[in-house]
Structure formats: structure tokens, C-alpha cells
Amino acid sequence: MENTDHTKYIRLIAALLAGILLISSIVGYIISQKMNKGGAVADKQTPTPIVPLPTPTMIPYPTKGSLVLVGKTGATAQVGMPFTLNVIATSSKDTVAGYDVILSYDKVNLERQLVQSIAPAFRIFTYERGDHLSISATKNLSVTDLIQFSQTPILSFIFTAKKKGTYTFSLKPVGNESSKFVNEAAAVTYPETKDISIEIQ
């Protein structure tokens, strides 16, 4: 009898422990589900803010020197007849190892025939953009003399017009591109620019 009672007692204890473990598991599951739902609600209520990235801007290099557009035959031209524009540069006693020129014009009614370097120490690279022309120039490796611009013609453009009107040619910045000088120490300066308007008759 004692063995039987002892066995029943052990079975009762085991059943109680099993019941406690089962109840603990159920309670833990319910709590974890509530926490997950609560976290999801919190996430919906407090979304992570989207911080916009800053828009790149040009570094404010100092303004120095000038670039001026000049009509070789004045400020008038004839429809269908070639006319020439020159870029005159002044670097204000600073050396020039390279430069960029940005030229905006009406690409619908004006046709560019030619662009060439008229500063023998430099070679140019021309890039067609959507609404403007970008020219980069570097000093020839064979040139060892220091170069300065003082009312120096550096570029020549030849255009023809398709119809009458007054057309403006501009050296002003476009987007992140800008006309500039680079000296022998690789320092960059932005020259003042002067545009020109040509009347096509």
C-alpha cells in the first residue's frame, strides 16, 4: 500500500509540474504576441523620418579675371552666312594651366560650324550638352613657359543662323558646370563673364 501511495504521489507531482510548464508556455506565447503587435503598431505610428540628401553645389571659389565674347564682324550677321565669335580672356596676372568655357546659345536656330583654339599653348576638348557647349582646355605638355592671359583671344566659334532674330550667347554657369581658370598650382578661379547678342538680318 505504501508503494502504491508513493507512486500516486509522484505521478501527481509530475502532473502538476507538467501543467505548470504548459500554462507558463501559453502565457509566454500570449505575452510575446501582444508585444509583437504592440511593436508593429508603434512602428506604424512613428515611421522613420526620411531625411532628404543635400543637393550638391559648386564650391565658392574666388572670382578673378574675365571672359568676354566678342563678335569678329560686329553685332550683326546675315541669315545663312557664317559669323565668328571670339572669347577674350584675362587671368589678372595669375598663371593658367587650363580652363573651361561654358557657352549657351539657341541650338534650334543657330548651327555651330567650328570651334577652335586660337591660343597656341592649349589644346581643347569639346563636349556637346543638351542646351550648351562645354570646352575644356589644357596646356600642351611641350609648353614649359608660364602662361598668363591679358586680353588674350583663346577660342573662336563660327556659327550660321537659320532665321532672322536676335540671339544671345552666354558664358554663365549651367547646373554644376562653369567657366573657370586653373593655375599651375591647380587652384581654381571663376572669371567674370560678359555675354553678347547678335542680330541676324
Give which of 74, 65, 75 is closest to 151, Cα–Cα. Answer: 65
Task: Give 150's contacts (C-beta < 8 A, 6+ positions apart).
Answer: 90, 91
pLDDT tens digits along 149-181: 999 999 999 999 999 999 999 999 999 899 999
Q: How confident is the model at residue 88 (pLDDT cuts 50, 70, 90)?
A: very high
Q: Is the model's pLDDT at 86 over the cut of 70?
A: yes
> What φ, ψ does residue 132 adopt, rounded to 5°?
-155, 175
In residues, how long is the chain?
A: 201
Rounded Cα distance between 201 and 199, Å, is 6
What's the mean pLDDT in 96-113? 96
Stated pTM of the model:
0.68
Exposure string of 47-77, with b = 16+ CB inside 10 Å and e = fewer, is: eeeeeeeeeeeeeeeeebbbbbbebeeeeeb
Give me the pLDDT at residue 72, please: 84
pLDDT of residue 115: 96
pLDDT band at 79, cuts 50/70/90? very high
How many angstroms separate the CA atoms of 118 and 152, rounded? 9
- The answer, yes or no, to whether residue 64 has pLDDT greater than 70, is yes
Lowest-confidence range among 17-21, 48-52, 59-63, 94-98?
A: 48-52
Contact 191, 67 (CB under 8 A): yes
141 to 23, 90, 125, 188, 194: CA distances (angstroms): 86, 22, 15, 20, 30
Q: What is the pLDDT of residues 124-152, one digit of tens each?
A: 999 998 889 999 999 999 999 999 999 99
